[in-house]
Amino acid sequence: MDKAMRGYRQIPVYLRYLINILLLAALLALGNHLIVSGAVNRAQKAIILQIGIYALLAVSLNVATGYLGQLPLGHAGFMAVGGYAAAILWKSLPKNTGAMLLGLLLGGLVAAVFGVLIGVPALRLRGDYLAIITLGFGEIIRVLIINLPGITGGTPGLMSIPKHATFPVVYITVIVSCALIHTLMKSRHGRAILAIRENEIAAEASGVNTTFYKVLAFTVSAFFAGVAGALYAGYTGILTPGNFTFMTSINILVMVVLGGLGSMAGSIIAAGILTALPLALQSFNKYRMVIYALLLIVVMIFKPSGLLGRYDFSLTRILEKAVNGRLFPKRGKAGEDHA
């Protein structure tokens, strides 16, 4: 439907940006107020921070799985590299905002370098083979961390890392990262990445340099995993190789699949559910994993494309529909949800 021709009123771009920024800022102020005033207790705050960190991990993995359409299994490796890089930097600097920013950036950049190094050979392979080589990479990183005690503290790990990851830091970092991934995907580069997922041969024949864009998507994915790793280091204060096992990679992948491959909102919601659920179920400790597994099975049976499919939430799009009186479309007009 050509919206312009049918008198569909659109919200001007600057207004969209303003609405989104104001709402996000309001949410930040609200969250911060609740935490400072003590309405949210320490345990609840810990869950919120963990959800933020895992949301960023899931969103970053979604770039490689949902958008590019590959299946890397070594996401915890990038997270580890970023986390350790930031932790080592933070331990040698005084605790201030500059150091915090520097650490987050360094974590991302170091992980991105590894992303390029792994991506170039790994992306020559497809499907299962790519999964295996990235799985191997994740394990190599973990073993390296154990065997370089001079730098990483070895098996006992790095202790007393300055706790930079306060609520505002995690919140703003996650929001900014998601926004950057979103803007990338809504550009010609993002479209090239999606085209590779849709049909690699057609993309190549249309002039898309598939090798470059595969490595690019992989690197962006690694960068934000590294940032999330840095947040993780600044949140726990302790890093051990045991935090970054194969199971961590799988957990992140499950979040992406549960939320819907290619849906950023889905990744965030699934990260929320799968992080909060095990903690909430701690009192039924015996049945915790059973419930967790059942949930996954039920979702995969009834919604194989994930909770949200490829749908992405857009507040301004909903507002636009409301302005035009199309919030509740008549039957047969499915709108954007085509999963």
Partner 1 sequence: MPKRPVNSNMVPLDGLGIIPERDAGSPPILDIRHLCVDFGGLRAVDDFTLLIGKTEIAGLIGPNGAGKTTVFNLLTNVYKPTQGRILLNGQDTRGKSMHELNRLGIARTFQNIRLFSGMTVEDNVKVGMSHGYTDGVLADMFRLPGWWRTERKQHVRALELLDLFSLTDKADVLAGNLPYGDQRRLEIVRALASEPKLLLLDEPAAGMNPSETHELMDNIRMLRDRFSIAIMLIEHDMNLVMGICEGIAVLNYGRIIAKGTPKEIQRNPVVIEAYLGEEASHA
Question: Binding marks (x or -) toward partner 1, 274..313, rule CB under 8 A?
Answer: ------------------------------------x---
Per CB under 8 A, 215 contacts partner 1: no
For partner 1, give the closer residue by CB, 290 or 336: 336
For partner 1, give the closer residue by CB, 178 or 230: 178
**Which of 96/206 has CB closer to partner 1?**
206
191 near partner 1 (CB under 8 A): yes
Member of 1, 39, 43, 301 binding partner 1 (CB under 8 A): 1
The CB-of-217 to partner 1 minimum distance in angstroms stands at 10
Distance from C-alpha of 91 to C-alpha of 116, rounded to nearest angstrom: 27
- Return d(Cα 76, Cα 225) in angstroms, integer: 8
Is 194 one of the binding residues for partner 1 (CB under 8 A)? yes
Task: Return the SS3 of 73.
Answer: coil
Check residue 24 for interaction with partner 1 (CB under 8 A): no
Alpha carbons 240 and 80: distance in angstroms, whole number? 9
Is residue 216 at the binding interface for partner 1, with CB under 8 A as the rule? yes
List alpha helices for 123-263, DSSP H. Answer: 127-147, 149-152, 167-185, 188-198, 200-205, 210-236, 246-259
Find the shortest distance in angstroms from Cβ 286 to partner 1.
Answer: 42
Q: What are phi and psi of 158, to 5 degrees?
A: -90, 130
**What is the sign of the dihedral through the CA atoms of 265, 269, 270 and 271?**
positive
- The count of chain residues that interact with partner 1, using the rule CB under 8 A, is 31
Residue 206 interacting with partner 1 (CB under 8 A): yes
Q: Which is nearer to partner 1, 188 or 286 (CB)?
A: 188
C-beta of residue 61 within 8 angstroms of C-beta of residue 270:
no
CA angle (252, 89, 141) in 5-degree steps: 40
Q: Does 195 sit near partner 1 (CB under 8 A)?
A: yes
- What six digits make up the tokens of 29? 């102020």
Write out the two tokens for 123.
Answer: 């992306």
**Which spans of this chain sit near partner 1 (rule: CB under 8 A)?**
1-3, 5, 180, 183-184, 187-192, 194-195, 197-199, 201-210, 216, 310, 338
